[in-house]
Chain A
Amino acid sequence: MGKIKDYIHRLFIPHEENNFRAKSLHTDFLTVYLVIAFLMTMVFKQASLHNVLGFATDISVDKLYQLVNEQRQKNNLSPLVLNSSLSLAAQKKAENMFRENYWSHYSPDGKTPWDFILGTGYKYEYAGENLAKNFLFSNGVVDAWMNSTTHRENLLKKEYTDVGYAIVNGVLNGEQTTLVVQEFGKPLASSFTPPLVQAGEPEAKPGVAEKKIEQVAVQPKINAFNFTFNLNVVFMAFLLLALALDFYFASKFNIIRIAGKNMAHFLFIIFVLMGLFISTIGAII
């Protein structure tokens, strides 16, 4: 026990035994971190955890379906049934959004969500649509929808019985993104004309076409991304902790050394984490 305590002491607290610098920040340790980070990059690439456009996301239909039904059950509503026609409509809607380059419930040439649903042969009594883009994780998408009144209403609408999803990657308004389309419906019992339709929110301004569309359905099984992401977070947290402890004790003991007190490393990592946050902010309509 004493040995472990000594080792942790050497690892994080600067004193004469570690040359007044936390062992976890010595160049040999930093080199090991670099090798681990490099290997993680290589393993991630080799394991084909991304699709052809190079997006790294952990959004899957299974997870979205499960999370949405959990929310419905929490609100004493019956779970939605995954419907292949609505999923096909969602897929066609997503493809159309990339092809015509718009971020809206309605296409620039006037196509509505209902056109895509009816186009698959699904005749509805009620229907709705939620859209999301740029999220890394399925729970981020569902949380964002639950935090928006109109999307939440769609998710928790008691009239809906079916749901369909599409998760498609592509370039939208010059931005490489993962688009999530969710179509809701309740099939028509008789043959009368559909009386009511609903969308997540009113029409947004369509974007200007810039690039040729290239898209592919996201493979649902990329949980390894989640693992790698968490490993990254742990790695960075360890580095920040080591820097913070070394800074604190070096200041407390008034240690003067050529390496300084890590303030710059600290700032650099904080800015990079903020940058990561900016580049992965999701949007919903």
Chain B
Amino acid sequence: MTKPFSFHLKKELTDHLFDYLLLVTAGVFFLTLLNLFRGQRLIEFIILVSFAFFYIVWGVYHHIVNETLHLKTVVEYILIAFIIIFLLKIIILP
């Protein structure tokens, strides 16, 4: 029987609860800082870049803990982080 999408989401989250809690905490911190510095475009962009770098570090940590660290995985995190930075730069800091 096919399990629903939410089942897979829940399983993935509970299997790596601490890691995802860390990422969500950083995400909430990121949103709080953005709200605090709303309108100060340069600071907003710095906050975004900092969050992107945290995400890369988090990815490396997550894969070390799971013993699945591979160069290709790190490159994937870096690529996604920078794609988002470039896309958002157009809006936040053109």
Check A279 against B87 for contact (C-beta < 8 Å).
no
Kindly provide the distance from the CB of B75 to the nearest chain A CB, expressed in whole angstroms: 5
Stretch from A88-96, A144-152, A251-259 that touches the partner: A251-259
A81 to B87, CA, bound (A): 39
Q: Which among B44, B48, B70, B83 has the highest number of chain A CB atoms within 10 Å?
A: B83
Kindly provide the distance from the CB of A44 to the nearest chain B CB, expressed in whole angstroms: 5
Q: Please report the total number of B residues contacting A with Cβ < 8 Å.
A: 56
Contacts of B20 in A (CB 8 A): 263-264, 267
Check A259 against B72 for contact (C-beta < 8 Å).
yes
Interface residues on A, range: 35 or more
Check A271 against B73 for contact (C-beta < 8 Å).
no
- CB 8 Å contact bits of A253-285 with B (1 = contact, 0 = none): 000001111011101110110111011110000
Count A-B contacts at CB 8 Å: 148
Kindly provide the distance from the CB of A3 to the nearest chain B CB, expressed in whole angstroms: 28
Contacts of B75 in A (CB 8 A): 27
Check A40 against B73 for contact (C-beta < 8 Å).
no
Check B91 against A263 for contact (C-beta < 8 Å).
no
Check B80 against A275 for contact (C-beta < 8 Å).
no
| Contact surface of B with A, Cβ cutoff 8 Å | 2-3, 5, 8-9, 11-13, 16, 19-20, 23-24, 27, 30-31, 34-35, 38-41, 44, 47-48, 51-52, 55, 58-59, 62-63, 66, 68-70, 72-73, 75-77, 79-84, 86-94
30 contacts between A and B (CB under 8 A): A27-B75, A30-B80, A37-B86, A40-B86, A44-B94, A55-B94, A239-B83, A247-B8, A258-B68, A259-B72, A260-B63, A260-B73, A263-B12, A263-B16, A264-B19, A267-B20, A267-B24, A268-B23, A268-B52, A268-B55, A271-B27, A271-B31, A275-B30, A275-B31, A275-B47, A276-B91, A278-B34, A278-B38, A279-B39, A279-B44
